[in-house]
Structures are given as structure tokens and as C-alpha cells.
């Protein structure tokens, strides 16, 4: 390899490293901001209505920051035999075995595709329920106060009695429908509590 080829390869390597480093820095900043907002919501010091926006399957959900815990990479999960298809298994979340649920499948929709963008949103420790939801994508913080609340007839969703854990639905300025998910109501649902066949 001549000197100019070597210099070009070195320059390309430096650019690739700086792009990778910049991405890591942006991700770290986002995680730090998100953690600060979640802690503020859990302590009650946040006045604005902020929720974590997530995509589960093809649907958008808003999760109250006081009910959300850790957000970790979906990684590997250990299947548990003789369980329903929406119960994906157990994952190690910061040293704790956490049950992972596919909410899309639980609600009778198609299964959430497990891709590199998937994350597990663990339930907050205050719910005293060691579980988490598989989400297709974390969409960041959202403010339902800036969205238009919808009636169930406007969005054509299931009746509230069929999904009591969905407490409201909103439409944002881009026309996307968001379902406000109450994890505290979800963990009280008898079907959700019985994962065995």
C-alpha cells in the first residue's frame, strides 16, 4: 500500500470512529435527559403532562413516566414452556429476572417483530410487578396536553371494557393516534396475570 492509500484509509477510519463516537454521545445525552425527566415525574416535581412515547407492533402508546422503569435493549430472552404466546419469556434487566410481554399479541393483534430497534420498558418498582413490555421502538417524550383527545368512535378502537388499561386516546398534529396506557391497570387484569396455558 502506498503512502496516499495509507493516509486515505487512516482518514476514513478516523471519520468512521468520530461518527460512531458522535452517535454514542447523542444516545448518552438522550438517555441522560430521559432519565432526568423520568425521575422528575416520579418525584412529582414535573408539572407538564409528559409521557414516554413507544411503538408496540403497529400502534403508538403513551406510558406515564411514573409507571415506567428501566429501558434496556431487548437482547436475549429465555422462553418459558407452557405459557401463552404473548408471554415472551424472561430477560435479565440489571440483574433481575423480568417477565417480558408482547402487548400487541396480548391485545389480539399480530406479534411484535423482534428487531435491533426493540427495547424492553420495565415496569416501575412502585408497581411491585417484575415485568416489562417489548416495544418496537422508543419514540421519546410526548405531551398529551398538546394533542387532541379522541372518542373511541373516532379512532375505531376496542371498547374501553375490552381494554381497560387504555385510559384515553389522542391524535397528534401529524394525525397519529396514541393510546394512553396505564400499566397499573394492566397488572390488575386477570388475563394478564395468568400466563400459563
What would the pLDDT profile of 44-97 be if each residue is shown by its tens digit? 554 456 899 999 999 999 999 999 999 999 888 999 999 999 999 999 888 889
Tally of structural domains, the chain: 2
Residue 186: which of 103, 104, 112, 113 has the closest Cα? 103
Mean predicted confidence (pLDDT) in 90-116: 92
Same domain, yes or no: 18 and 79: no
176 pLDDT exceeds 90? yes
Give the pLDDT band (50/70/90) at residue 106: very high
Q: In CATH, what number is assigned to the domain containing residue 100?
A: 2.40.50.180
Same domain, yes or no: 146 and 173: yes
Residue 165: which of 146, 179, 150, 151 has the closest Cα? 179
Give me the domain span that covers residue 42: 1-47
C-alpha grid cell, residue 7: 493516509
CA-to-CA distance for 19 and 121, rounded, in angstroms?
28
Same domain, yes or no: 34 and 90: no
CA-to-CA distance for 85 and 49, rounded, in angstroms?
34
Predicted confidence at residue 2, as pLDDT, reads 54
Question: Which of 99-134 are b and which e, b meaning 16 or more Cβ less than 10 Å from the residue's Cβ?
Answer: bbbbbbbbbeeeebeeeeebbbbbbbeebebebbbb
Same domain, yes or no: 20 and 64: no
Q: Say if CB 133 and CB 105 are below 8 A apart.
A: no
Same domain, yes or no: 39 and 104: no
30 pLDDT exceeds 90? no
Residue the block writes with cell 372518542: 151
> In this structure, how many other beta carbons lie within 10 angstroms of the beta carbon of residue 168?
17
pTM for the full predicted model: 0.71
Same domain, yes or no: 94 and 17: no
17 pLDDT exceeds 70? no
Predicted confidence at residue 159, as pLDDT, reads 47
Helix (H) or strand (E) holding 39: helix 3-43
Residue 94: which of 127, 78, 72 has the closest Cα? 72
Mean predicted confidence (pLDDT) in 35-42: 64
Mean predicted confidence (pLDDT) in 147-170: 73
Same domain, yes or no: 70 and 118: yes
Same domain, yes or no: 110 and 43: no
C-alpha grid cell, residue 71: 429501558
For 7-147, where are the E strands, in sequence order? 51-56, 59-64, 68-73, 87-93, 96-101, 119-123, 131-135, 137-142
CA-to-CA distance for 136 and 134, rounded, in angstroms?
7
Same domain, yes or no: 63 and 29: no
Least confident piece of the model among 31-45, 69-83, 145-159: 31-45
Q: Say if CB 100 and CB 89 are below 8 A apart.
A: yes
Same domain, yes or no: 78 and 168: yes
Same domain, yes or no: 103 and 167: yes
Predicted confidence at residue 149, as pLDDT, reads 92
Predicted confidence at residue 147, as pLDDT, reads 92
172 pLDDT exceeds 70? yes
Residue the block writes with cell 410481554: 101
Amino acid at each position: 500500500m502506498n503512502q496516499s492509500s495509507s493516509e486515505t484509509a487512516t482518514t476514513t477510519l478516523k471519520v468512521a470512529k468520530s461518527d460512531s463516537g458522535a452517535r454514542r454521545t447523542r444516545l448518552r445525552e438522550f438517555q441522560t435527559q430521559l432519565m432526568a425527566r423520568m425521575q422528575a415525574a416520579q418525584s412529582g416535581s414535573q408539572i407538564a403532562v409528559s409521557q414516554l412515547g413507544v411503538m408496540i407492533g403497529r400502534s403508538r402508546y403513551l406510558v406515564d413516566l411514573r409507571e415506567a422503569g428501566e429501558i434496556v435493549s431487548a437482547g436475549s430472552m429465555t422462553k418459558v414452556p407452557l405459557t401463552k404466546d404473548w408471554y415472551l419469556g424472561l430477560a435479565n434487566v440489571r440483574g433481575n429476572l423480568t417477565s417480558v410481554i408482547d402487548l400487541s399479541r396480548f391485545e389480539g393483534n399480530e406479534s411484535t417483530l423482534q428487531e435491533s430497534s426493540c427495547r424492553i420498558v420495565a415496569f416501575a418498582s412502585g408497581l411491585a410487578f417484575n415485568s416489562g413490555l417489548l416495544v418496537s421502538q422508543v419514540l421519546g417524550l410526548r405531551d398529551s396536553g398538546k394533542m387532541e383527545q379522541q372518542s373511541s368512535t373516532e379512532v375505531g378502537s376496542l371498547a374501553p371494557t375490552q381494554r381497560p388499561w387504555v385510559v384515553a386516546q389522542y391524535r397528534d398534529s401529524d394525525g397519529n393516534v396514541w393510546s394512553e396506557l396505564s400499566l397499573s391497570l394492566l397488572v390488575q387484569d386477570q388475563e394478564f396475570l395468568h400466563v400459563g396455558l
